[in-house]
Amino acid sequence: MDKKTLIFEKMPVWKAVATLAVPAILSQLVTMIYNLADTFYIGRTNDPYMVAAVSYSFGAFALLSAIGNLFGIGGGSLMARMMGAKRVEDAKKVSAYSVYGTIAVSTLYSVLLGVFMTPILRLLGASELTIGYGSDYLFWTTVVGGVPTTLGIVLGHFLRSEGEAKLGAIGIAVGGLLNIILDPIFIFALDLDVAGAAIATMLSNTIGLAYYFTVLWLIR
């Protein structure tokens, strides 16, 4: 009996929920730390304009999580139900739709943000003293890193929907820890300030996505 059959068909409900929920909860805690890392390290520069830029820019960056969760949670739930009903081909179609939908929507969002960066930052509360920092942050995290960020979220949900909650949580932890490690290198060692924090976040999300692709390739 394989692991997926054991969890979804044979294991008592309370135990199955615990098996899948605990890694998911831990991954969300890591995500919270992940989100605080940029603000923490930028705060160490003692520059209030940089801190303000990262703080108001995070709202636009957080929309990437909303896009990823839209396709990841919805698609993952439907995939799980279809696999439970032995409709494997339909589950594959749902996964393909979710992946391509994520790429399309996040690409559109990234392009629109890149084109309308200044008015969007003004709407978020940017001033003449902070708009340059905010533009640097959103350019790297959202315009350049939009697709890797959302796609990584979706693939993490897919792993959990297949009963691989631990592997999904590891992917988030890898990205979070890398961001914590890379932030001081890019911000202080390379003296890139807000752009450095943003590049570190973008690279961490991209490496996290590479991890998910590798895991999915190995377990397919």
| pLDDT confidence band for 15 (50 / 70 / 90) | low
pLDDT higher than threshold 60 for residue 117: yes
Q: Residue 13: what pLDDT?
A: 57
Q: How confident is the model at residue 14 (pLDDT cuts 50, 70, 90)?
A: low
Tell me what pLDDT residue 53 has: 95
DSSP annotation of 190: S
Give the single-character DSSP code of 85: T
Strand boundaries in 102-160, DSSP class E: none
3-state SS assignment for residue 17? helix
For the CA atoms of 77, 82, 86, 87, the dihedral, rounded to the nearest 10 degrees, stands at -150
Question: At CA 78, angle to CA 147 and CA 102, rounded to 5?
Answer: 10
Q: What is the pLDDT of residue 8?
A: 52
pLDDT in tens, 155-197: 988 888 777 777 887 888 888 889 999 999 999 999 999 999 9
Q: For the chain, what are the domain ranges? A: 3-219
- What's the pLDDT score for residue 1? 45
Report the mean per-residue pLDDT for the chain. Answer: 86
Please give the radius of gyration of the chain, using alpha carbons only, rounded to the nearest integer: 19
